Amino acid sequence: MAGARTTVGDADGQAGIGSLRQCAVSRAELPPDDLIRFVLAPDGSIVPDLARRLPGRGVWVAATRAMVEAAVRRKVFARSLKQPVVVPEDLPGLVERLLVKRVAEALSLANKAGLLVAGFAKVEGLLDQGQAAILLHASDAAADGVEKLNRKFKALMGPERFQKSTVAELTSAQLSLAIGRPNVVHAAASEGGASLRMLQEAVRLRRYRAGESEGSGLSCH
């Protein structure tokens, strides 16, 4: 596996199947999907490269808010790049906003692909038909509606898949803007590539907020 590993200073920004990157904070070797890549912009500022496509040397940090905060606090970017850098004010918050944007964009694509329904009645109908693969609630949704739909979805998917396929990362306002209709509180998606991508982006945001990198048990202390 040593030949497959690529470390913090790598310049390509791309990770092949099975390759690992090293977190600049914890020094743990992790899959790229469990990390966030940062690059140095021409103006000397640190830029999050969530798509891992920007040119230049990359600094990889485990994909949790706590790790990004630790990277800022410990001046990890300047040390890793061996030069002075400008770290944007509230970099951890910037990363979170960009992750939210990616979830919303993926949700919009799933909607345009015809894989999404919104509104309590339509979601309930999709559940009753056994066609729902992902269930979405606004983070500010009322508990009674959430519980009713969750019971149906859990019965359809089973407990384990229910947990993995339920999304509550966006507010009603964010869901409404992404889907292009007012007052969206509940939505559901049927199976499809765009739906899967949306779920992956939502899980990435969830882990960032929760401070958990999949399977890592990392600490930033």
Q: For position 45, which CATH number holds?
A: 3.30.1230.10
pLDDT > 80? residue 3: no
168 & 188 share domain: yes
Classify residue 81: in a domain, yes or no. yes
As for how many domains the chain has, the answer is: 2
Mean pLDDT, range 146-171, rounded to an integer: 96
Of 38, 71, 88, the residue at which a domain comes to its end is: 88
Q: Which residues touch 79 (CB under 8 Å, ≥6 apart)?
A: 24
Tens of pLDDT, residues 121-157? 999 999 999 999 999 999 999 999 999 999 999 999 9
Last residue of a domain, one of 88, 110, 125: 88
- More confidently predicted of 9 and 149: 149
Residues 131 and 152 in one domain: yes
pLDDT digit string (tens) for 71-119? 999 999 999 999 999 999 899 999 999 999 999 999 999 999 999 999 9
Residues 6+ apart with CB under 8 A from 201: 99, 102, 103, 106
Q: What CA–CA distance (Å, rounded) separates 68 from 131?
A: 38
Of 83 and 9, more confident: 83
**Domain-embedded: residue 178:** yes
Residue 163 lies in a domain: yes
Please report which confidence band the pLDDT of residue 204 belongs to, taking 50, 70 and 90 as the band edges.
Answer: very high
Is there a single domain that holds both residue 43 and residue 66? yes
Range of the domain at 182: 95-209
Q: What is the CATH number of the domain that holds 125?
A: 3.30.1330.30
- Asked whether residue 144 falls in the same domain as residue 174, the answer is yes
- Quote the CA–CA distance of 15 and 32 in Å, as a whole number: 7
Check whether residue 62 and residue 139 sit in a common domain.
no
